[in-house]
Structure 1
Amino acid sequence: MILWKKCAILLSAVSVLAATSACSEDNRAAEEPKDSGNELRKKLEEPTELTVFSLESPDGWNQKYEEYLKRKLPQYKITHISQTESSRLEHLLSSGTHIDLYIANARSVKQQYISSNVALDMSNLVKSHQIDLSAFEPEGINQMTSPEGAGGLYGLPISNYTMVMYYNKDIFDKLGVPYPVDGMTWEETYELAKKLTANSGEKQYLGFWISPKHYLRTNQLSLALVDPKMEKASVTSEEWYRLFDTIFKKFSDITAFRERAIKAWPSHDAFNVTQELAMYVMQSSWLMAAQESLSKMNFDMVAMPTFKDKPKVGVQAAYTYMGVTSMSQKKDQAMEVIRQLTSEDYQMEMSRLGVMTSLKSPAVQQVYATNTPFKDKKLNMQAVFYNKFAPTAPITAYDEFVVEDGLEKTQLRDMVKGLTDLNSGLRKAEEIANQKISTSK
């Protein structure tokens, strides 16, 4: 997610939006519909046209949403706009493009949609459309509505993901190391990683790696990247040091891994392409995103390792939301789209395809990934649900300056390569991020 600078084009776009939607900070909540139940049903049955904006590719939109919506709402013509470099939110607003719905996570809602007055508090729409919020995982609602999240009901969760540890069974077998199991601690994983970082004569194997950006955004200790009150980067606390020491430093101190990191920074290709990586912590959704290459591997998955004093606590939830915009002139019809995509019928269909549900229904969770290329591999799919989610850390508009600029691009790499110590690296990351934050204001 990219922080939108408060530039002239966005200010102009907000003005256009304000004129179009006549909304303000005080009246973002949708007005209580005056329609009776019969009138609402009649309205929803009439032909209508809606526009959705999201990060989804055209193929992703078609596969995840369009096919289902065409079956359930054939009277609706829904146009999808994919975000590209030339079609970002501020570009659409400044050009007067009308959107009725958006798909985003809570961080993007807070960074982009609220600040540009596109977001709408959907509390009244949820009530009039009789959507039962208790059907959702509680954290899915809390992450959007809490002060630490987006601060209002600006969307309903339509999917989720966690992080799991994928492992290459062939490497374990070749080196004679027992497979990992659900419920392992980071210390136990480190001991495995040392045994698995070995040279077979044909290939140098690496024991463990993790996707840094995905982990830092949803870290297990629920640590804020930016102090929400001070609006300053905040990654030099004892707990942040503990996290970096446990997740990054110990594993990168293994000599062969450090040599590899210096030569070429490891990515997921080391697991599913070159197959030199034995264990890899990555998003659960990667199972489907990389299904072509993963389906050719002898692999499995277990729950992500946990801190010893926080057993069965995984990362924070990473929900994807769909929200009705303040500019929409067809809010009820837009809400019907959301109702369909949060139904147990849709969630069951997506769960079978390997999309983690936003509902707390055990029946939906139990069919996870049962209709995928992996259905006959007898993978440990329930590893996705083994850990509980960590509480949501405060979200700010500046988080990516810490993740991307302060850590991922420079200081994390220097720490892993042994070019700087943890304390110095974390202090420098704060300095870089704070400079970016200051410039953006």
Structure 2
Amino acid sequence: MKRASLDLRAASSFSSARRGACRSWSDGMNTCTERMGILAKRNGTILIVLVLALAIMAAGCSGGQEGGQADGQAGPAAEPVTITFYLPYAGDTATFMEQYGNAIVKKFPHVTIKTVHPPDTNVAGHLANVLSSQEPIDIFLNGDTNHYRYITPFQYQYDLTAMIKTKGYDLSRLEPSTLEAVKALAPNGEIYALPLRMNVMSLLYNKDIFDKFGVPYPTDGMTWDEAYELAKRVTRKEGDTQYRGFITQSYSIAWQNQLSLGFADPKTDKPLFYTDERWAQVVQNINRFYEIPGNALVEGSFTGINNLFYKTKVAAMYAASIPGTAQEVNWDVVTLPEFSNLRGVGSQASLTLAYIVSNSKHKEQAFDIIAYMTSDEYQTEMAKKALGLPVIKTQSAKDAFGQDNPNLKGKNLKALTKNKPAAPFPQSPYQAITNNQLEKLWYQLGKGQLDVNTTLRMAQENALKEIEKLKASGQ
């Protein structure tokens, strides 16, 4: 890949002269050679001087040609610059530098990194304050599902298409689904960000429960039907403990659904739950697990469901993203079960994107940094720490996932990249509010208080009302 190098406008006039000489060198090689021969006959000293001069010109040529300089590195006279990252989560600069920033500074020693993040969960409120105070932001790291929450309301979007072309950035290195997901955020396929990392859903399982009941472990490549039959075998009650065969988060399974279904039509802003019959297939596929006696969805929150697997350890299988931190449960992982008519297709990827903010004063330098963050070198090191799956095609980077994370030692990590991520769906500004309506009702559905048809109809009606309210308020 021809990655971008930093702006060389601050390079010395001598370097410019060498590049000019370089053109003379390449254009007049034969003429120069002839003149050297003539001068050699006249004066050996002149010949020596010419040889030295031409050697300098040749060295300038090799350093100034496109792609000759090390990818992503600044020229020797690069001016110091501070690049500010916005992180839409409560965190600390030290952790960010350890995980991401130190490698950037090592590559670009003239860059100083500053981080800004909200003090609490009110990201939108914090961004409003940042905008009013004119506090600078250059690079915004944001989840793709939050594009219409944290980027467009503040007009932070900036199309990178022209810069990608002039910098010679090779988009073909990226996993196709990640680029499609970026383009799905724009009305005309603009590229507002480069993907940084991704996560996919897989099937975690508690080895101790399967051992306890003498049931074979789940395997890679299972269909949903096979997972359903397996769930029935490990949904049991022993004493006061009810073991649950299968759980998942309705929010995640909807956002990352394998059928690439959107929540709202981006052209009409109408919800799709009741008008696209494939939603019934997605919802019924999951709800049948909750219809297994003893496996009803009793919980009513993300944390409550999560705790079934990690805390109380009563859930045998959990469709989710893998944890990168140490867990008390004895777990392993296989591929997310597949629809029988979509073999080899996993969940849609959940992406973290690196945006260059529209009012950044350092767009050139910021682009070089995010371009470097998608390099083989950077993606491989990030994967080793299990900070996210690589967004590039390079197999060695994928194979490196989790190598330096002791919490993942011995896990079946290849399951994360065996399946092709499902294609992303076209985004609507009202995706989040629309999905929220389905999520609320899915808890009631899982408890047996609603049927699938009623759930989808109510989600459709409730979402339409919320969208109309937002439009009426000018949002």
| 1:365 partner amino acid | K
The aligned residue for residue 244 of structure 1 is 283
The Cα offsets for residues 210-243 of structure 1, whole Å up to 9 and x where unpaired, read as 1211121121111110011221211013211111
- Structure 2 length-normalised TM: 0.78
The Cα offsets for residues 331-371 of structure 1, whole Å up to 9 and x where unpaired, read as 11111221221111111111111120011100101111111
Identity of aligned residues (%): 30
How far apart are 1:165 and its partner, in Å? 0.5
The aligned residue for residue 403 of structure 2 is 370
The aligned residue for residue 4 of structure 1 is none
Q: Distance in 2 between matches of 1:279 and 1:123?
A: 43
| 1:428 partner amino acid | M
- 2:307 is the counterpart of 1:269: yes
The aligned residue for residue 358 of structure 1 is 391
Secondary structure in 1 matching 2:245: strand
- 2:101 is the counterpart of 1:71: no
- Among 391, 397, 408, which residue is 2:439 paired with? 408
Secondary structure in 2 matching 1:254: coil
Q: Which has the higher contact order (CA 8 A, sep 6+)?
A: 1
Q: Larger deviation: 249-258 or 182-191?
A: 249-258
The answer to whether the Cα contact below 8 Å between 2:297 and 2:446 also exists between their aligned partners in 1 is no
Secondary structure in 1 matching 2:211: helix
The Cα offsets for residues 30-78 of structure 1, whole Å up to 9 and x where unpaired, read as xxx8959978944983211121112244245234312322322232121
How far apart are 1:375 and its partner, in Å? 4.9
Which structure 1 residue ranges, 5 or more long, are not aligned? 1-32
Q: Distance in 2 between matches of 1:106 and 1:44?
A: 37
Q: Distance in 1 between matches of 2:160 and 2:361?
A: 14
Q: Distance in 2 between matches of 1:81 and 1:35?
A: 29
Change (3 A) 1:422 1:322: same
- Among 45, 48, 59, which residue is 2:81 paired with? 48
- 2:339 is the counterpart of 1:339: no
The answer to whether the Cα contact below 8 Å between 1:52 and 1:79 also exists between their aligned partners in 2 is yes
| 1:419 partner amino acid | Q
The aligned residue for residue 207 of structure 2 is 169
- 2:348 is the counterpart of 1:319: no
Q: Larger deviation: 258-267 or 127-136?
A: 258-267
Q: Distance in 2 between matches of 1:62 and 1:34?
A: 26
The answer to whether the Cα contact below 8 Å between 1:143 and 1:150 also exists between their aligned partners in 2 is no
Change (3 A) 1:43 1:155: farther
How far apart are 1:261 and its partner, in Å? 4.2
Q: Distance in 1 between matches of 2:136 and 2:415?
A: 41
- 2:321 is the counterpart of 1:283: yes
| 1:73 partner amino acid | F
Q: Distance in 1 between matches of 2:430 and 2:453?
A: 22
Q: Distance in 2 between matches of 1:323 and 1:368?
A: 24
The aligned residue for residue 160 of structure 1 is 198
Q: Distance in 2 between matches of 1:139 and 1:211?
A: 23
The Cα offsets for residues 258-303 of structure 1, whole Å up to 9 and x where unpaired, read as 274489984111101110000001124xx21xx222xx33211000
The answer to whether the Cα contact below 8 Å between 1:106 and 1:149 also exists between their aligned partners in 2 is no
The answer to whether the Cα contact below 8 Å between 2:180 and 2:423 also exists between their aligned partners in 1 is no
| 1:241 partner amino acid | A
Computing the radius of gyration from Cα coordinates, the structure with the larger value is 2
The answer to whether the Cα contact below 8 Å between 2:177 and 2:422 also exists between their aligned partners in 1 is no
- Among 213, 228, 231, which residue is 1:193 paired with? 231
Change (3 A) 1:427 1:49: same
The answer to whether the Cα contact below 8 Å between 1:186 and 1:305 also exists between their aligned partners in 2 is yes
- 2:338 is the counterpart of 1:306: yes
- 2:160 is the counterpart of 1:122: yes
Change (3 A) 1:202 1:418: closer
- 2:326 is the counterpart of 1:292: yes
Q: Distance in 2 between matches of 1:214 and 1:44?
A: 48
Change (3 A) 1:278 1:210: same
Q: Distance in 1 between matches of 2:133 and 2:399?
A: 45
